[in-house]
Structure 1
Amino acid sequence: MKSQPVVIVLAAGRGSRFRGAGHKLEQGLGEQSVLGQTISHAIESGLPVVVVTTAPLASEAARWVARRDVVVLPEVGSGSPAALGMGYSIAAGVTARPHAPGWLVLPGDMPMVSPATLSTVAGLLGQHPVVFAQYRGRRGHPVGFAAELFSDLVQLSGDEGARRVVARYPSYGLEVDDPGVLVDVDTEADLDALRSGHTVPGALRSAGLP
């Protein structure tokens, strides 16, 4: 069977803007947690999935994927390299699957990205070095990277994530009918909106869009 790009679910951040009890990724959303729904959609895409997280969330991640597919980083603030931010998490995920034909970066707090969007982005990596999903012209996630960018990705660190890589190489914006590519759970209000069935980002709703 031909190998496929790997979805790297990023779940190692502190979620400091969320003021509720517990980590935002552990919060209930329907019959799953926020992280559980994000991972489930990634699995439904038919692509391999790796979750990059820290020890407190490792058990939650392992409810949805095998332990071998959970990359556990030291917690932020422990004086470890993980304190270098999202870039380090991306590098760790890519390093865990170095022979993949590409990687899709998906934040763990984006539970509304559809499986179809993930698979479509993955399918375009044979034509473009960088592919990102966008909704009504607004750039979102996932962001896909072709295998040729391995050396750049494994050297990432800092809170910029992969922005410099995206800026350095030609990128393709895939327009999708999926507002979930813009929806993340940063605050309690974000979570309440999702629980109420509001899947279009607030900025678009305020502009009169459905």
Structure 2
Amino acid sequence: MKTVFADLHYFPNLEYFCAILESDKLVLDPRSIYQRKSFFNRTQIRLANKVETLSVPIVGRRPRIPLGEIEIDYRQKWQKVHLRGIQSAYGKTPFFEFIFPYFVALFEQEYKLLWDLNLQVLTICLKIMQWPVNLEIATETTDKQGFTDIRGLLMPGSHFSQRDIYHPVAYVQNFGLDFEPNLSILDLLFAEGPQAKSILQASSKKH
């Protein structure tokens, strides 16, 4: 059984899913320290004229705090902004009518902690792809022997080409003539639906 220790991202990009592709168990640690400008609260989608970053606002400036304690700031109507952005980006894609209701229901809930929202996001994405990986929340007693640790590896400031994880395999995107690689998993899900995992398998450098 292969175990991967990973960060928890907000609608993770394709490199993230290639990195966990062969895992049987994915261990997520809410005790990890929050890093500013990380994927914990942001993702990228493709609109008609640009790649747009969707960010979840958090309460206060949070230096040196565990991920599991980061609170979402609901004073900003970010849910409507994100849903509108997703609808604008993917409303005409093949699997929009099938997948979009999952995320409408998600954003109708108000999760106090960003950790809980992201965990539900990951669960939904894995369900759509029919991906039977086991999710485990790390504790003090979690066995760390023989696992692969990718925590801190995937950050917005470093390009995927610097790592030996993800090799872009093009699929039909809704906008643009040139393929835009390594966007949010949303981009691939709306284009390919349950077949998204096969694209990820082809995009993995271990393939």
TM-score class, shorter-chain normalisation, is under 0.3
TM-score by length of 1: 0.26
TM-score by length of 2: 0.26
Identify the structure with bigger relative contact order (alpha carbons < 8 Å, sequence gap 6+). Answer: 2
**Higher strand proportion (structure 1 or 2):** 1
